[in-house]
Amino acid sequence: MKLTIDVADRIDKALARFYPEAGRRQLAALFDDGAVRVNGKRAKKGDRVAIGDTVELAREPVSGIALRPAPDPDVPLTILVEHSDLVVIAKPAGIPSQPLRAGELGTVANAIAFRFPECVAIGDDPRDGGLVHRLDIGTSGVLVVARTLETYHALRDAFSAGRVSKHYLAITDGHPTARECDAPLAQRGKRVVVDAAEGLAAYTEIAVEQRSPDHALVRCIAQTGRMHQVRAHLAHAGAPITGDTLYGGAPLPGHDGFFLHAVSIALPLRTDKLVVEAPVPQRFTSALAVCALA
């Protein structure tokens, strides 16, 4: 596929105008895979393009129905709450919340599509599959899925308005130096950074529940829902999550990944408040023992 640039801009923003439904992650994957060339040369997503430049794509982004999650019966699904208008599941660490590419399997959204097919068409992004929020691949815990479009929009509005309370448990290297963090966050590639000029508002309450000489068990309450918010805020408070090498955490010998668990969520449901807790997984309990926090 060949395109001709008609407005000088960054190449990633130019492609977003050509493919407005493709989504940021799908376009980023094109650059990561070397599938974008400008005037014959491989392009990075921050490169500038001029009017008249020729862009070649090794593959064209897909959009719309093609991005909806396909049913996958092989992904485990632990259901915590099942209502007629929503379902709440306990996501394991190591499984993505949703697919990034058309036809991708192995995500929570794929499992939801198999068990609750009515969710497939629900969401602002066709990949949502009813998910009203997401958890990082390495994070375990409570994940909420809408079964009706009305519930989806109501819950998304509640998240945006700060009416959803999310509690996390984290094992950290060292001890946090603050009881709260309101540092604004901005995405930079695969991670987020504190950026007072361009960052989005973010707020996390931080409470140490247990201490050992080298680690802490920390409860965090996230009142906003920025990408990697708890991970970045704990690192900013001097206590990166154990195993979270992206944010300065040290690997835990004998254990893979990092240790962040979305332990509970409280959200409005019609005229009531729904509170759901996810049991702490065995991998997290085992890490507590290794860190002398059990």
Q: Are 98 and 127 in contact (CB under 8 A)?
A: yes
Does residue 279 belong to any structural domain of this protein?
Answer: yes
Confidence band for 22, pLDDT divided at 50, 70 and 90: confident
Confidence band for 27, pLDDT divided at 50, 70 and 90: confident
Average pLDDT, stretch 260-268? 96
Q: Name the percent of the chain lying above pLDDT 70.
A: 99
Q: Name the percent of the chain lying above pLDDT 90.
A: 68
Is residue 136 part of the annotated active site? The answer reads: yes
Convert the pLDDT of each residue in 118-175 to its tens digit: 999 999 888 899 999 999 999 999 999 999 999 999 999 999 998 999 999 999 999 9
Amino acid at the residue 130: G
Convert the pLDDT of each residue in 215-239 to its tens digit: 999 999 998 889 999 999 999 999 9
Convert the pLDDT of each residue in 183-209 to its tens digit: 999 988 889 999 999 899 999 999 999
Average pLDDT, stretch 232-247? 97
Does residue 87 belong to any structural domain of this protein?
Answer: no
Tell me whether residue 103 is exposed, middle or buried, using C-beta atoms within 10 angstroms of its C-beta: 0 to 12, 13 to 18, 19 or more: exposed
Pull the structure tokens for residue 111. 């499992």
- The pLDDT of residue 213 is above 90: yes
User: Structurally, how many domains does the chain consist of?
Assistant: 2
The mean pLDDT of the chain is 92
Write down the pLDDT at residue 60.
80
Does residue 24 belong to any structural domain of this protein?
Answer: yes
Convert the pLDDT of each residue in 86-101 to its tens digit: 999 999 999 999 987 7
**Residues in contact with 2: Cβ distance below 8 Å, sequence separation at least 6, in sequence order:** 54, 55, 56, 57
Convert the pLDDT of each residue in 36-64 to its tens digit: 899 989 988 889 988 988 889 888 887 66
Residue at which a domain ends, from 37, 61, 85: 61
Does residue 220 belong to any structural domain of this protein?
Answer: yes
Question: The domain that contains 264 carries what CATH number?
Answer: 3.30.2350.10
Does residue 109 belong to any structural domain of this protein?
Answer: no
- Output Rg (C-alpha) for the chain, integer angstroms: 20
Does residue 208 belong to any structural domain of this protein?
Answer: yes
Distance CA 241, CA 235 (A): 7
CA 42 to chain centre: 28
Boundaries of domain holding 43: 2-61
- Which of 136, 182, 195, 244 is an active site residue? 136
Distance CA 14, CA 51 (A): 11
Does residue 92 belong to any structural domain of this protein?
Answer: no
pTM, full prediction: 0.82
